[in-house]
């Protein structure tokens, strides 16, 4: 890596370019899936989110925004999270689509009659199959891909950034659809901080 590539300005440009390319490819890949996602969230009595590591942190951000909209949302693994049941939605993210705990939770959700919305980099993964046609496929490198073809960033960084951006896009679309103003959302912020 030369001195120009080591600068933060170069890195910001590189990341912004990769994100821009990724979002354009996601939108072009299957606009029908993106259209179904908002409906799926709104139609679900409760939304559960689950991801491991940085993907899990990104989905926690989405959970908070969905709560700001007034939706019933739970982070899997928290002590107050109820059991998932028929009609609920499990929103999961796994770059590989093979993370055992995530796939196991998705299988449990399906067995309970819940629906699964998956964000993954592998459309043929076990997680994508459990989502049954409601999978957002992110064209990003997996954690172990060191080739630099899908992304110049380290490990699964582009995938994790995609989860944040997709979650914010989902929130923004739902917010616009809801007709709520920003003041209404603000009343749902924690006042304990």
Task: Name the residue range of residue 128's domain.
Answer: 7-183
CA distance 158 to 81: 29
Q: Would you say residue 191 lies in a domain?
A: no
Q: What is the CA radius of gyration of the chain?
A: 17
Beta strands in the chain (DSSP E): 47-51, 73-75, 89-93, 115-120, 135-137
Query: What are 49's strand-pairing partners?
Result: 75, 91
Q: Would you say residue 188 lies in a domain?
A: no
CA distances from residue 177 to 11, 88, 89, 135, 160 in whole angstroms, order as listed? 35, 20, 19, 22, 26
Q: Would you say residue 65 lies in a domain?
A: yes
Q: Which of 94, 84, 87 is nearest to 48 (CA)?
A: 84
Q: Which residues of 65-74 are buried (b: 16+ CB within 10 A; e: fewer)?
A: bbbbbebebb
Name the residue with tokens 């606009």.
31
Q: Would you say residue 189 lies in a domain?
A: no
**pTM for the model:** 0.91
What φ, ψ does residue 92 adopt, rounded to 5°? -125, 155
Which helix (H) or strand (E) segment holds residue 155: the answer is none
Q: Would you say residue 19 lies in a domain?
A: yes
- Selecting among 18, 43, 111, 160, the annotated active-site residue is 160
Q: Would you say residue 36 lies in a domain?
A: yes
Name the residue with tokens 């890195």.
11
Q: Would you say residue 190 lies in a domain?
A: no
Query: Please, what is the Cα angle at 53 between 46 and 137, to 5 degrees?
Result: 65
Q: pLDDT digit of tens for each residue in the chain (193 aa)? A: 454 567 889 889 999 999 999 999 999 888 888 889 999 999 999 999 999 999 999 999 999 999 999 999 999 999 999 999 999 999 999 999 999 999 999 999 999 999 999 999 999 999 999 997 799 999 886 666 666 667 778 778 899 999 999 999 999 999 999 998 888 888 888 776 6
Q: Would you say residue 27 lies in a domain?
A: yes
Is residue 188 within 8 A of residue 68, CB to CB? The reply is: yes
Residue 69's domain is classified under what CATH number? 3.40.50.10490
Residue 193 annotated as catalytic? no
CA distance 123 to 144: 17
Domain count, the chain: 1
């Amino acid at each position: 890596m030369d001195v120009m590539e080591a600068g933060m300005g170069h890195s910001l440009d590189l990341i912004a370019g990769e994100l821009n390319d990724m979002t354009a490819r996601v939108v072009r890949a299957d606009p029908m899936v993106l259209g179904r996602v908002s409906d799926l969230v709104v139609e679900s009595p409760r939304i559960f989110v689950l991801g491991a590591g940085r993907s899990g942190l990104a989905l926690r951000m989405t959970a908070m925004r969905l709560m700001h909209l007034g939706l019933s949302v739970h982070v899997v693994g928290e002590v107050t999270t109820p059991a998932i049941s028929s009609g609920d939605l499990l929103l999961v993210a796994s770059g590989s689509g093979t993370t055992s705990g995530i796939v196991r939770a998705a299988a449990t959700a399906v067995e309970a009659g819940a629906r699964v919305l998956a964000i993954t980099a592998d459309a043929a993964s076990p997680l994508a199959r459990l989502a049954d046609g409601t999978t957002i496929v992110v064209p990003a490198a997996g954690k172990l891909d060191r080739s630099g073809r899908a992304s110049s960033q380290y490990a699964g960084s582009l995938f994790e950034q995609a989860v944040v951006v997709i979650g914010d896009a989902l929130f923004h679309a739902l917010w616009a659809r809801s007709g709520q103003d920003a003041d209404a959302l603000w009343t749902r912020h924690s006042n304990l901080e």
